[in-house]
């Protein structure tokens, strides 16, 4: 997303930049493909004649990056914290008290098939809050546990903040 924002700013598309930033919560983050398991995603990546790099994909309910290096032929699928900033911003506005509640994921998925999130909807499964994300192009929903997602996002941000400090320390030594 940062590359897109930089491109819009660098090419004097300020109105588009402002529109994207103002309305980004009206659209789910895009993903190129969806897989049930990491193994399926890795097989897809290996099977591509000309792998895309990077490519945002969904594995299970998680956003991931599939990447390929033309220099050495290495490739991998890694976690991408794409939806977590959305969850953070949406929960800061408050989870609607009248969110649908379900006993199981299966019940929630049946309901979502008839009432697709547009693009986001909060719901509760067995007492736990989830953010449902409708991926119109992929014809599916992902379900993101709010509490777990925010906790993992906070941990990832703390780890990212330590990296520059650690690099600086290594360079000093």
Confidence of residue 173 (pLDDT cuts 50, 70, 90): very low
Give the contacts of 140 (CB within 8 A, at least 6 positions apart): 34
Q: Give the phi and the psi of residue 61 in degrees, each rounded to 5.
A: -115, 10
Confidence at residue 62, expressed as pLDDT on a 0 to 100 scale: 96
Q: What is the C-alpha separation between 25 and 101, in angstroms, rounded? A: 23
The strands making up 101-102's β-sheet, listed across from edge to edge, are: 101-102, 120-125, 128-135, 140-145
User: What are the helix and strand counts (H, E) for the chain?
Assistant: 6, 8
- State yes or no: pLDDT of 16 exceeds 60: no
Phi/psi region, residue 12 (left: phi>0; alpha: psi -120 to 50; beta: rest), is left
**Per-residue pLDDT for 10 more than 70?**
no
pLDDT of residue 167: 47
Length of the chain: 173
Q: Do 141 and 133 touch, CB atoms closer than 8 A?
A: yes
C-beta of residue 12 within 8 angstroms of C-beta of residue 35: no
Q: What is the pLDDT of residue 13?
A: 64
pLDDT tens column, 68-117? 887 887 888 899 999 999 999 999 999 999 999 999 999 999 999 999 88
* pLDDT beyond 90 at 30: no
* φ, ψ dihedrals at 5, nearest 5°: -65, -40
User: How far apart (Å, rounded) are the C-alpha atoms in residues 131 and 149?
Assistant: 10
Residue ranges of the domains in the chain? 1-28, 31-80, 82-167
> Could you tell me which residue, 173 or 141, shows the higher pLDDT?
141
| Contact between 84 and 62 (Cβ < 8 Å) | no
Tell me: pLDDT of 47 over 60.
yes
Mean pLDDT score of the chain? 84
**Could you tell me the pLDDT band of residue 2, with boundaries at 50, 70 and 90?**
low
Distance CA 57, CA 135 (A): 11
For residues 13 and 65, the model is more confident at 65
Given pLDDT bands bounded at 50, 70 and 90, which one contains residue 125?
very high
On the question of pLDDT at 40 being above 60, the answer is yes
């Amino acid at each position: 997303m940062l590359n897109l924002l930089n491109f819009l700013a660098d090419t004097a598309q300020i109105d588009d930049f402002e529109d994207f930033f103002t309305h980004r919560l009206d659209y789910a983050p895009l993903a190129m493909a969806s897989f049930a398991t990491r193994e399926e995603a890795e097989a897809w990546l290996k099977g591509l004649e000309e792998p895309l790099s990077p490519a945002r994909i969904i594995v299970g309910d998680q956003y991931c990056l599939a990447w390929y290096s033309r220099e050495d032929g290495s490739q991998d699928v890694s976690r991408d914290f794409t939806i977590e900033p959305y969850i953070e911003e949406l929960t800061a506005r408050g989870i609607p008290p009248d969110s649908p509640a379900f006993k199981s994921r299966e019940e929630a998925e049946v309901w979502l098939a008839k009432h697709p999130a547009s693009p986001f909807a909060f719901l509760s499964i067995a007492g736990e809050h989830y953010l449902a994300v409708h991926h119109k192009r992929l014809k599916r929903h992902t379900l993101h546990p709010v509490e777990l997602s925010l906790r993992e996002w906070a941990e990832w941000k703390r780890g990212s903040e330590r990296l520059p400090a650690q690099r600086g320390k290594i360079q000093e030594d």
